[in-house]
């Protein structure tokens, strides 16, 4: 969203002399002022107001029907013992939550999810930022576009195709490409997906490959909005390329990093398709690929226990909320560019 | 004038070429010849089919042309029942349960083709209709044409107490033991018995794991899928060792008595522990048997195989070498039984037009449709006398033999705890055993038993 940040609005966006505004902005408080202080609240709706409400009503109804209602219904269902599709249900209070919180498999799934989520977020953001910086530093425009295209390509491949592809790349004997390559250096074949010591990291590598292009494009957009005059001023003071990168580029892109951290955390915590396709419902090997959403899936669609599944979903929601708030608080410190 | 003539000639040439090259006249479609009107019955029936192909296409394995359901219905059903309008919805297998559940709940469907476990759960939820009253008054429907073990003793077609018929079986899963006679000869091992025991399979599999004495290649004695969603190998082993796993009825899940830590179950786990060391490492993620049934195969015994690769090669190349090399035998149950997947047609409890829906269901499960599905998509029929099965297709014949002695027990995908917890736990055990660190079996089974009891207690 492009816009100014009036009053005390908290705003991720900023006014830039060349590139306009950075894409993310969250306004929390906007007040209208007149010459005599805050404007009085108008009670009478004008024709324009009615038009506004008329245009936004379909969207509001959609949000209420397809987002708010299902969330509330799921919350209600989490306190019920349901059979199958939830046609017959009885109120059981916190029983589902108690069951899940005492279930070691839930905790194991949460640990696996956080391990893979945090690692893929950190590695993904780090590597894609370095890549974006390298592409951005290219003087050759055609080369820039070529690399953008190359790195973005995996992003259009579905999770199913990616999982199939990597299950053969990471095949546990010499038939796998990766094991074949490491065999040149005398290293024995590794069970990338079949050994519980490596399986989670292999999933992280696979998801990094898929997400690298998208992250790189976002960072590139951010990098192109950094004002040139900041670099020019630093060059006058004799700053090296690395110093400019560390002290101008990275701090300037902090809102982008915050966005990427938050989206990466949410995405990582919802991991399902790839681990399900590779490890099955057990999250093989040895449950190392068992994630929270796989736990929810098992409860909902294999055990037909919608009450348990919705309770687990709400617990996962709370975990994601806490992580997101933690990230936002950690990044609320202002720097010289704010 | 000249130009007009040229255009006319070219148009005719194009039309004649298209006619000459096109095939699948209605008479060539299975059941398309000698079709006569059966009834003037009127109605509209909404049909949701999981995984069926509606349009004509090409079989990716054999390259043969396949006829989609739309053309098949046009050549058959539409002529037999000209006043019944069919609204056919194709549902991909992925997430079929969620989509078909939604259709049942919103009363948007009359007849469904689906997975057996889904059908069983919907029946228990009261979403499906019993078919007994319709069968009783319809002299044209003969329930005896179906394999009795599947029609009368499967959770996919019968109510949990076995008293009501809610589904008619139309397709079977093919799961049999297939062995490579060449590898057996190379190793000098006696061929498997027609009805092998679990012990025999393990013993022979152990003998054939290592470097092939003739070719020097690495051979693996056994293979099965270590991340199977339905735990079919485990089910067959519970039958083989008489490990019931539970007592009670799916009608009353809350009162099921779990028997997961019995001495019989210990034998099942001992077998899995030893056998887990024999397959290629990829088996725990469902890989490793890509060449089974083909020339480059290096696995001696394949458990829960379907013979698909061998038959495709045979159909494409008409070379019988592979067909004689790979031999199917019965599963490991006492009568040669194992777990048999049964996909039925079922009717919604809220079907709009029950009579018309029954005619549709009857037609889609009948002889002609099963023949059409076999000829086009190699589906395994559910008929006692499936005379259309290719004489060379020994795999389908074996699947039918296994299905004929099939029966459902509580260790079945229709049992929710089996699917959600037991199968994943067994797969986890297998992956640990394959890595050389198997869990202590009594402790593992005690934990599973405790978990099952807690799960049941939470239902009350």
ipTM comes to 0.79
Sequence-ordered list of residues with C-beta below 8 angstroms from that of B107, at least 6 positions apart, any chain:
B348, B350
Q: What's the mean pLDDT in B314-332?
A: 91
- Contact state of A279 with B226 under an 8 Å Cβ cutoff: no
Q: Which residue in B116, B244, B100 sits closest to B173, CA to CA?
A: B116
CA dihedral B123, A78, B99, B134 (to 10 degrees): 20
How far is residue A67's CA from residue A65's CA, in Å, rounded to a whole number? 6
Greatest mean pLDDT among B269-278, B280-289, B380-389? B269-278
pLDDT band at B176 (very low <50, low <70, confident <90, very high): very high
Collapse the DSSP code of B196 into the 3-class scheme (helix H, G, I; strand E, B; otherwise coil) and give the result: coil
Residue by residue, DSSP assigns B357-376 as HHHHHHHHHSHHHHHHHHHH
Cα separations in angstroms, A140 against A136, A145, A242? 10, 9, 21
H or E segment to which residue A135 belongs: helix A104-137
By Cβ distance, the residue of B419, B427, B431 closest to A303 is B419
Name residues 249-268 of chain B within 8 A of A (Cβ): none
Distance CA B70, CA B52 (A): 10
pLDDT band at A334 (very low <50, low <70, confident <90, very high): low
Confidence class for position B254, pLDDT limits 50, 70, 90: confident
Read off the pLDDT of residues B286-322 as tens digits, 9 standing for 90 and up: 999 999 999 999 999 999 999 988 998 888 888 889 9
Measured distance CA(A210)–CA(A157) in Å, rounded: 8
Mutate: best of B217, B224, B282, partner A, most A CBs <10 A: B282
Q: Please list every residue in chain A whose beta carbon sits closer than 8 Å to the beta carbon of residue B431.
A: 194, 196, 282, 284-286
pLDDT tier for residue A303 given thresholds of 50, 70 and 90: confident
Report whether pLDDT(B65) > 90.
no
- CA–CA dist A39, A56 (Å, integer): 24
Give A43's contacts (C-beta < 8 A, 6+ positions apart).
Answer: none
Token digits for A221?
């957009």
Do B235 and B338 form a contact (C-beta atoms < 8 A)? yes
**Confidence check: pLDDT of B31 > 80:** no
The model's pTM is 0.81
Do residue B416 and residue A302 have CB atoms under 8 angstroms apart?
yes
- Dihedral (CA of A289, A295, A301, A304) sign: positive
Select from A170, A286, A276, A275 the least CA-distant residue to B284.
A286
């Amino acid at each position: 969203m492009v816009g100014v940040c009036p009053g005390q609005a908290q705003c991720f966006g900023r006014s830039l002399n060349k590139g306009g505004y950075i894409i993310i902005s969250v306004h929390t408080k906007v007040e209208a002022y007149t010459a005599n202080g805050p404007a009085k609240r108008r009670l009478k709706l004008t024709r324009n107001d009615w038009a506004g409400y008329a245009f936004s009503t379909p969207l509001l109804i959609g949000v209420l029907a397809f987002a708010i209602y299902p969330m509330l219904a799921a919350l209600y269902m989490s306190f019920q013992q349901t059979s199958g599709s939830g046609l017959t249900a009885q109120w059981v209070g916190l029983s589902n939550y108690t069951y899940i919180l005492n279930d070691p498999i839930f905790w194991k799934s949460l640990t696996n999810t956080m391990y893979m989520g945090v690692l893929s977020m950190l590695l993904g953001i780090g590597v894609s930022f370095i890549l974006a910086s390298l592409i951005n530093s290219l003087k050759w425009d055609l080369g820039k576009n070529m690399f953008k295209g190359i790195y973005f390509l995996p992003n259009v491949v579905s999770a199913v195709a990616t999982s199939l592809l990597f299950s053969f790349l990471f095949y546990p004997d010499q038939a796998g490409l990766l094991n074949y390559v490491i065999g040149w250096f005398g290293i024995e074949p590794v069970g990338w997906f079949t050994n519980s010591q490596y399986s989670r990291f292999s999933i992280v590598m696979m998801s990094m490959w898929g997400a690298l292009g998208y992250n790189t494009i976002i960072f590139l957009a951010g990098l192109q909005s950094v004002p040139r005059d900041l670099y020019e001023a630093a060059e006058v003071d004799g700053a090296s390329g690395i110093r400019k990168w560390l002290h101008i580029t990275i701090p300037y892109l902090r809102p982008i990093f915050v966005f990427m951290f938050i989206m990466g955390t949410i995405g990582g915590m919802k991991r399902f398709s790839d681990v399900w396709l590779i490890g099955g419902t057990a999250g093989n090997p040895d449950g190392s690929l068992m994630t929270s959403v796989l736990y929810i899936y098992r409860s909902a669609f294999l055990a037909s226990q919608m009450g348990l599944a919705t309770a687990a979903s709400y617990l996962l929601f709370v975990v994601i909320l806490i992580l997101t708030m933690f990230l936002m608080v950690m990044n609320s410190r202002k720097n010289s560019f704010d | 004038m000249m130009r007009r003539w040229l255009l006319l000639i070219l148009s005719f040439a194009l039309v004649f070429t298209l006619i000459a090259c096109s095939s699948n006249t209605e008479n060539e479609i299975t059941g398309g010849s000698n079709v006569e009107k059966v009834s003037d019955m009127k109605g509209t029936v909404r049909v949701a089919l999981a995984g069926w192909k509606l349009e004509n296409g090409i079989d990716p394995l054999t390259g043969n042309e396949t006829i989609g359901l739309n053309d098949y219905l046009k050549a058959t059903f539409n002529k037999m029942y000209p006043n019944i309008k069919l609204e056919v919805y194709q549902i991909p297998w992925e997430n079929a349960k969620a989509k078909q559940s939604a259709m049942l709940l919103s009363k948007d469907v009359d007849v469904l083709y689906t997975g057996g476990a889904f059908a069983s759960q919907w029946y228990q939820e009261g979403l499906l209709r019993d078919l007994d009253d319709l069968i009783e008054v319809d002299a044209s429907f003969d329930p005896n044409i179906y394999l009795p073990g599947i029609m009368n003793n499967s959770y996919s077609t019968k109510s949990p107490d076995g008293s009501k018929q809610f589904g008619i079986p139309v397709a079977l899963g093919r799961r049999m033991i297939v062995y490579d006679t060449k590898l057996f000869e190379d190793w000098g091992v006696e061929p498997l018995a027609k009805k092998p025991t679990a012990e025999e399979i393990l013993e022979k599999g152990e003998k054939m794991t290592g470097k092939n004495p003739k070719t020097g290649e690495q051979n693996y004695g056994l293979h099965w899928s270590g991340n199977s969603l339905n735990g079919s190998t485990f089910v067959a082993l519970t039958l083989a060792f008489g490990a019931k796993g539970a007592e009670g009825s799916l009608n009353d899940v809350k009162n099921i008595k779990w028997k997961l830590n019995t001495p019989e179950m210990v034998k099942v786990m001992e077998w899995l522990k030893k056998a887990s060391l024999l397959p290629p490492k990829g088996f725990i993620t469902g890989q490793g048997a890509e060449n089974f049934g083909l020339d480059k195969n290096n696995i001696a015994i394949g458990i829960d195989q379907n013979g698909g690769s061998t038959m495709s090669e045979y159909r494409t190349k008409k070379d019988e070498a592979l067909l004689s090399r790979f031999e199917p035998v019965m599963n490991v149950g006492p009568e040669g039984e194992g777990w048999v997947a049964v996909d039925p047609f079922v009717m919604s409890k809220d079907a709009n037009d029950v009579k018309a829906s029954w005619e549709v269901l009857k037609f889609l499960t009948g002889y002609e449709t099963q023949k059409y599905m076999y000829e086009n998509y190699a589906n395994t029929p559910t008929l006692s006398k499936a005379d259309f099965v290719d004489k060379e297709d020994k795999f389908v014949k074996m699947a039918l033999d296994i299905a004929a002695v099939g029966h459902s027990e509580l260790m079945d995908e229709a049992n929710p705890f089996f699917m959600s917890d037991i199968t994943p736990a067994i797969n986890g055990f297998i992956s640990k055993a394959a890595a050389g660190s198997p869990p202590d079996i009594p402790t593992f089974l005690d934990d599973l038993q405790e978990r099952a009891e807690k799960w049941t207690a939470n239902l009350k």
